[in-house]
Each structure stands twice: as structure tokens, then as C-alpha cells.
Structure 1
Amino acid sequence: MSALKRAVDQTAFDKGDVGYIILSGALVLFMVPGLMFLYAGLSRRKNALSLIWACFFANAVVTVTWYVWGYSLAFSPTATNGFIGNLEFGGHHNVMAEPSPGSPLVPALLYSFFQMEFCAVTVAILMGAIAERGRLMPTMLFVFFWVTLVYAPVACWVWNINGWAFKYGVLDFAGGGPVEIGSGVGGLAYSWVIGRRNERELINFRPHNVTLVTLGTFMLWFGWIGFNAGSAFGANLRAVYAALNTCIAASTGGIVWCLLDYRIQKKYTMIGLCSGTIAGLVAATPSSGFIPLWASVVLGIVASSACNYGTKIKHLIRIDDALDLFAEHALAGIIGLIFNGFFATTEVISLDDVNTTIPGGFLDQNYKQLYIQIAYIVACCAYVFVVTAGIAKIFCLIPGLNLRATDHAELIGIDDDQIGEFVQDFVEVRRAYDEWAPPTNGVEKGGLHHQISAAGDRHGVPDTSVHTPHLSPHAERPAPDSTEKV
């Protein structure tokens, strides 16, 4: 044991910085349940649990994939092709206390943990594409291939020291390309392949639980501080700057979206406030460690406005992006990357006392940075859309792996069809028992021979002598005035 301790030299790292990045990684992980609640609240009640399940299970798939080869494919420093890493770190072989390939401030093992949570959040965002019509288990297998062939290469481009975008000089602080374009454009491609929901499901579609949407949004905001501030890879002033930029952009975005909705609806909607806040958070992801504080005010206004109008794009192109992944994530991420070309400054970048020679954008008279950013955006969008759509299309052609649920499953709800549990259930008690429960041969009580059971109860044994039509507990059913919900 003493020989092992001598072999692993940890003296090069500050324990405060190490503790800070561990905490930041945990905050990033906390964004996954934030997305669970957000998506559950935005969907219909009959599909809410399926989105929670998908985000949760996908997190497990990402963790295993990242351990096996995801980290190596993204960050192995000996691969020099500029596109994707090799298997040098497969199974986390030789990943220990050496300076990480992405930052000399943290050990490789900690860097892998932090970046693994980034990947988990990206995939959790992507799960919004399956809303209300996606099959769950084939999607989990899809996640394995998507992390391998889409996320890992794009992360390698911009964060690996040998990545082509890194060498090209792209400024992407916390994942405008791998995270936001990856999930937003990837979600659009996935939605395109599996097709639109049935038209009856598109009529009068409203979020079923605005409270969950609000809770999920604030959980995301809380975790996003670790997401962005942790990307400074140390407890330094640049991390504080990134955290403050994140909050400014989020707050400005929430205000602007809410006001834009009021212009049309004459209501200050909670969904609008949450949507604008998320747009600001997304836009701050690539820019929070590069631009001055005043620029984040402008960023929040521009990103929120663009994303608000961007929600109409899905209607123009006829792609059922049910939870607006493209409008909220891809568009806001693109805007944040473009802002780096204009407003990034060495004064902010050098606050970590490490990156003191990286030039900024227009504010530093580095005018070529704008077309560098745009080239990176185009490359990310094209690659993510084509490869995501290709993987999804192949899955849909393989028997048993079709990503689209059946029409019946869509009608009764993915929760009922594939999980057998529900995000919430109601016990309905009627005074007119004869109108509710079928007669049984049970024990007489109060002059009635009836078995009273909760709606959707899967554990009672029905009387097979009386035929009653099967109804999902989430199907529309008119309730008489005598109904009491307890």
C-alpha cells in the first residue's frame, strides 16, 4: 500500500481545486433530475414517467459507456487525427493522478468524472426528442452508439489538445458544440426520423404540471452554475466570473421571454419565464468564461428573443420537436458561440492565471475569431444532424429496434404501454357505486356486492364474468358531480 501511495503523486494539485471540481461535477449530475422534472411537467400526464425513466436510465448507460471507452475516444492525448481519440484510456487504464489531457489543473481521473457528467446531461437533454411516441429500451441502445459516434468526436474536436477545433482556435467554454448543438440538433434529427405524433395528440397540447416545470428549471439553474463555473477547472476568479455571467444571462432571458409572450397573450406565463431562463443558461454555456458581464445582458436579450421566435421553426419544417430542443438548445448555443467571436476578451480569459495567451474576439481586435466560430458551428450542426439521423434510421430498419412506439401505445400513453407505472395516480370514489364498479361475488357490505378499487389498480383480480372495457387511468373519462378525489 505504501508503494502505491508513492507511485501516485498528488502533490501537484491543490486540494481546494480538487474538492471544488468534485462538487461541480455533482452539481452537473443534479441537472439530470432537473431535466426529469422539466420534461415530465412539459408532457402530458400519461407520458410523464417515461421521460423521467429515459433520463434516469440514459444516465446509467452514459456512465458505463464513458468508463469503457467514451473518455478515451474524447480525450486520449496520443491520437493525432484531430477527429476522434483512440483506446489508450479504454476501461480507464492509466487514468489516475497525471495532469488531465484537457486541463493541467486537475488530475485525469477527476477530469474524466467531470466530463462524464457533461455527457450525461447532454444525453438527458436529447431524451426530450422521444416525448410521447418513443420506445424506451431501443432508445437506450441508441444512446450507447450516439455517445460513441457523436458526442465523443465533437468533444474531441474542441477540448482535446489534438482536436482540430482546439488547434483552430475555437472558443467554446463549457460546451456550445458538444452539449448544446449536440443535444439540440441531435434532438431535431431524432424527431425527424421517428416522425410526428398523431394529429390528435398535437391538438390542444399543454404541459400537464407547471409546478414540475418550474422546479426542474431552478434545479437546472442550480446545477448550471457547477456546469459553467466548474469549467474554469479551479476555484479561481474566472470561475466566479462564469457563475455571475450565467446568472445574468439566465435572468435577462427569463424577463425578455416573459415580456414577448405578454405581447401576444396578455399573460405573464410561467412556462415563458422558465423557457427564457433556460435559453439564457444555454447561451451562457459556451460564453460565460470569455465575455464581460455587460455582454451577458445583451446575450440574454438576444438569445431569449431568438429562441422565442425559433419555436416556430418546427412548424415551418414540419418536424415534431415536441419539447423545442432545437429552439432552446441549438439556437441559444449557436448564439453564445457567435458572441465569443465578438465579445470574448483576454482580460476575462486570463482570470484563471493559466490561459493568459488566448486571444479574444472583436474586443481584442482579433477579427478572424468570428469566422472561426462560424466554421465550427457549421461543422458541428452538419455532423451531428447527419450522424444522429443515420444511427436512428438504421435502428428503425432493424426488427425489434424500431424507435417509434405503436399508435396504440401513443394513444394510451407510453407510461402505461412500456412502464406500467404512472407519475401520479388518483383514487376515485363514487357515491353511485353501481355506475363505477362491476358486480362481483365478494362479501356483501352495506347492501352492495361490489369490489371498489382504485383506478388503474394492477393488483386486484377482476371478475371475469362481467366484461368491462379496458381504459387507461389516464384516458379521458367524464366524471359525474358526485365524484370525489382523495
Structure 2
Amino acid sequence: MADTPVYNASEPSGGDPLKVNVNTQFEGFEWNYTYIVFCGFIVWLIIPGIGLLYSGLARRKSALALLFQSLMIVAVTTFQWIFWGYSLAYSRDASPFIGTLKNFGLKDVMAAPSPGSAVLPEIVFCFYQLLFCACTVMIVVGGAFERGNMLPSLVFSFCWATVVYCPVACWTWNSNGWLYNLPSLDFAGGGPVHIASGWSALAYALVLGKRKHVDETSHGKPHNTTLVFLGTTLIWFGWFGFNGGSALNASVRAMLAAFNTNTAACTGVLGWVLVDSIKNRGKFSVVGACEGAIAGLVGITPAAGFVSVWLAACIGFLTSIVCALLQDVNNWLHIDEGMDVFKLHGIGGMVGAFLTGIFASQSVAALDGATEATGGIDGNGMQVGKQLAEVCAISAYSFTVSCILLYILKWIPGMHLRVHEEAEMIGLDRAQFVDEQIGERAILDELFVSSSSTPAHASVVNESLGISTGSKDLKM
């Protein structure tokens, strides 16, 4: 077996490629970082998967905006990560709360052994973690659906990744982070990805306020269930890389994490469908099954590399049951968070983190040949308290800082977080995209068949579209 590469602080970039072959230090480990790169490629599919899911759940007149936003989010987040995001999260001289700018602009991030795993070149580790950040930001913007202005949402995404995601990632995964050293157990992002995004999406929806002219049951009828199904399958597939690669090596632990991922998603489907069938007297819901799969995936994320397959099945099932039973949580909170980001990711992430403290096993964590961890199932009941500390800290920080950031942006001249009422009525697609790219019939159908529309609303809409109310020559 090849010797494990050792980081040399005098050559932080891993060596001068003009003088030495920087690949030599990783000889014998090529299979390992090839596997992580492949995992990164399939994690990328989660981003358009979320775009398709959101697009299918939204009304037709705002579907295109959500697809476009998925590409813009990955573009903006990549720039943020290169600019200073990676350094703030993973610099080797980080404080317990935030990194430094030592790697600003990816300075010295190249061929040295990474801070996450000595058998990974740092550029591979950086790329893989970038996709985690992009997925998280994409989840967050679901809180603004059908009324969030595009440009301010992209500005918010850059700032949110900087002041929320990067600090929380540093707490959780940087070897200097306070949660890492507590330790709380978070294998693949129950805290930084799901709890943080869920609470931040709730903050986004709160600051924007409720949608206008929408009846209370409209969100229960997605405009395109096929898109919801397709988006969910891409997310499910991408999650194999999300959890399977989080061991940061191609070990037995990584393979178990991938198996646990599929197991929890499947039992999540079963749990949600069970609740739906009881509520609906034996009738089923495709959207409900998709939500169950996502709830199961969220629940197993912090635990995937810490539990056995049967316990993964329990976690997926229990998480989906809890989320399904909280179907009306947005009504209870009087917040219009129509994409259910808080319910699935916020609540699901908290349930998963809690169950990780109960079920985590040192013998499973040690399957990668290096990790030592003690969980509740091994007799360390204090681990549950540490998991709750993670849940409380990340929840409070994410929600509070997100609210502050959104209110700051809201009061900046010209930075309108929410579109005007007329734009919301005609749809984000008509308001923010060139006409040639929009299916006019889909938009007009959405406008005129709505039973909630009043004559006054129709008049505003027709005026904004340039349509005379007396005209019978509409091109449908």
C-alpha cells in the first residue's frame, strides 16, 4: 500500500509542477479521487433536479423562472466559492467559527493533500464541496417562489453563501470548527445543507410576505406532476454522490452510505404514502410519494455513514412520517412557504440529526479505516445532547442572519426583493423573460381559468399584457 500523502506547509500548493510531478504523491490513490470526482459529477444533477421539481410544483406562469434560476444559482455560487467561499469554510487556519482569506481566489488550492482527506488533491475536495454549497443555495431560494425578484435573489444567494453557509460549514466540517470538535455527528450535511436551508427559506418567505390572489388550496395542485417526478428522480440519483462521496474515499463506509441513501429514500416513500392513503381514504399521490423520497433522503444525510442498513430504513421511514404529519405547518405559522422547503429540509434535517445521535455506531464509522466516533447506540447518551446543540445553533443562526440579510437588501434602493403586484399576477415568466421564450397559451390559461380572479384583477392583467377586455381575437 502506498504511503499516505502528507501536507507540507512550506509548499501549500502541493509543489511546483515545473520542477516535480505533483501526481507522484497520490500514486496508488488514483482510484480514490476518481471516485470522488465522479460523485461530484452526479451531485451536480441535484441542481437541475431541484429546478425541475420547483418548476413542476409552481404554477405554469412562473415555471420557466425556476428553471432559469437553477442555472443562475450554480453560476453565482461557483463564483462565490472561487472568490472567497472555499477559504471561509475550509482554510487550514480557521477559527472555531469562520475561516480566513488565506485561500482567497483559490490561492494555493491545487495539488496538496486536502484538509478533508489526505488522499484527495485539494482541487478535487474544493470542487466536491462547491457542489454542496450550490445545492444548498438552490434549496433556499424555493422560499421566494412565484414572487421573488430574480436579480435580488442572486445577490441574496451570493451573500447568503458567504454569511450563512460558509460559517456553518466551517463549524461542522473544518477540523477547527466548534461543532466538529464538540463533536456533533453530521456525515453529509444535515446541518449545513438541510437545517440551514430550511430555516433560511422560512425567513425568505416571511420577509417577502404571502403571495397575492392565491386561494389556499392552489399550491396543492402542481401544474406538472411529470416535472415533479423527473426532478425527484434526478435528486435521488444525485444523492448517491452526495452521501456516497462524503466519506471522501472509496471505502466500505462510502458504499454503505450509498446503500443507506437508497434504503432511506425507499422507506421514506412508504411512510409518506402510508400517511397519504390514511388521510385520503385509500387514494395515493405521486407528489406525496416524491415528497416522501426527499424526506427520507434528508433524514439519512447526517447519518448515512454512521448507521447500519436497517437503521437507515427506520430513519427514512420516521422522518417521512413526521414531515407528512406536519403537512399544514405553513398554515400554523401563517407563512406562505409554498415549496415546503422548511417542512422537508428544515424539519426533516432536524429529525435526521436527532436520530443520528440515537443510532450512530462507532463500528460503522470505522468502516473507512480511519474515523473514530461514538454514538448513542454504543452507550454514549450525551451524543443526543450534542446533536440538539447542533440543531439549535444552526437553526437560530440561519434564521436570524437570513432575516437580517433580507431586510438589509430589502431597504437598499433599487433592490426590490419582491416583484410588483402586476408582475406577480401575470407570472414571473412574462415579467422577466423575452416573449419568444414563453408559451403564451400556458400563461393566459393560468390567468383566465382561475376562479379566484376578480374583474378588477383581470383588468390589471389585461392592461399589463396589452389586451383589450373587449377583444375576442386572442391568440390561444
TM-score range, shorter chain: 0.7 to 0.9
Which is further off, 382-391 or 197-206? 197-206
1:213 aligns with 2:232: no
Residues 346 and 3 of structure 1: is their aligned pair in 2 closer, same or farther, counting only changes over 3 Å?
closer
Query: In the alignment, what sits opposite 1:19?
Result: 34
| Superposed CA offset, 1:182-228 (max 9, x none) | 11111001110111111435453320000000000000000000000
The match for 2:421 among 401, 407, 410 is 407
Find the aligned partners of 2:157 and 2:186 in 1 and give their Cα distance: 24
Which amino acid is the alignment partner of residue 181 of structure 1? Answer: I
Find the aligned partners of 1:385 and 1:427 in 2 and give their Cα distance: 39
TM superposition shift of 1:319:
0.9
TM-score (norm 1): 0.86
TM superposition shift of 1:5:
5.5
Find the aligned partners of 2:19 and 2:239 in 1 and give their Cα distance: 35
TM superposition shift of 1:425:
2.1
Task: Map residues 108-257 of structure 1 onto 2, 5 A cutoff.
Answer: 108-200=122-214, 202-205=216-219, 206-257=221-272
Find the aligned partners of 1:473 and 1:281 in 2 and give their Cα distance: 46
1:339 aligns with 2:370: no
Find the aligned partners of 1:62 and 1:69 in 2 and give their Cα distance: 11
Residues 214 and 87 of structure 1: is their aligned pair in 2 closer, same or farther, counting only changes over 3 Å?
same
TM superposition shift of 1:59:
0.8
Query: In the alignment, what sits opposite 1:58?
Result: 73
Query: In the alignment, what sits opposite 2:45?
Result: 30
Question: Could you tell me whether the CA contact under 8 Å between 1:20 and 1:234 is conserved in 2?
Answer: yes
TM superposition shift of 1:8:
2.5
Q: How many equivalent pairs are there?
A: 440
Query: In the alignment, what sits opposite 1:329?
Result: 345
Residues 2 and 56 of structure 1: is their aligned pair in 2 closer, same or farther, counting only changes over 3 Å?
closer
TM superposition shift of 1:103:
2.1
Residues 136 and 293 of structure 1: is their aligned pair in 2 closer, same or farther, counting only changes over 3 Å?
same
Task: Map residues 253-268 of structure 1 onto 2, 5 A cutoff.
Answer: 253-266=268-281, 267-268=283-284
| Superposed CA offset, 1:341-390 (max 9, x none) | 111111111111121x222x121111111101100110000000000010
1:90 aligns with 2:104: yes
Bigger radius of gyration: 1
Residues 473 and 5 of structure 1: is their aligned pair in 2 closer, same or farther, counting only changes over 3 Å?
farther
Question: Could you tell me whether the CA contact under 8 Å between 1:415 and 1:422 is conserved in 2?
Answer: no
Which amino acid is the alignment partner of residue 315 of structure 1? Answer: N
Residues 276 and 478 of structure 1: is their aligned pair in 2 closer, same or farther, counting only changes over 3 Å?
farther
| Superposed CA offset, 1:152-201 (max 9, x none) | 00000010010000111110000011100111111001110111111435
Aligned to 1:200, what secondary structure does the other structure show? coil
TM superposition shift of 1:16:
0.6
1:305 aligns with 2:289: no
Find the aligned partners of 2:470 and 2:226 in 1 and give their Cα distance: 24
- What 5-or-longer segments of structure 2 have no aligned partner? 1-14, 443-460
TM-score (norm 2): 0.88
Find the aligned partners of 2:475 and 2:404 in 1 and give their Cα distance: 51
Aligned to 1:286, what secondary structure does the other structure show? coil
Question: Could you tell me whether the CA contact under 8 Å between 2:145 and 2:339 is conserved in 1?
Answer: yes
TM superposition shift of 1:11:
2.3
| Identity in percent | 40
| Superposed CA offset, 1:386-432 (max 9, x none) | 0001000111111111211111111000111112358762679xxxx
Residues 477 and 168 of structure 1: is their aligned pair in 2 closer, same or farther, counting only changes over 3 Å?
farther
Residues 254 and 209 of structure 1: is their aligned pair in 2 closer, same or farther, counting only changes over 3 Å?
same
| Superposed CA offset, 1:438-483 (max 9, x none) | xxxxxxxxxxxxxxxxxxxxxxxxxxxxxx9557599x99999xx9
Question: Could you tell me whether the CA contact under 8 Å between 2:275 and 2:325 is conserved in 1?
Answer: no
Which amino acid is the alignment partner of residue 228 of structure 2? Answer: V
Question: Could you tell me whether the CA contact under 8 Å between 1:43 and 1:132 is conserved in 2?
Answer: yes
Query: In the alignment, what sits opposite 1:283?
Result: 299
- What 5-or-longer segments of structure 1 have no aligned partner? 429-467
Aligned to 1:287, what secondary structure does the other structure show? coil
Question: Could you tell me whether the CA contact under 8 Å between 1:49 and 1:421 is conserved in 2?
Answer: no
Residues 82 and 410 of structure 1: is their aligned pair in 2 closer, same or farther, counting only changes over 3 Å?
same
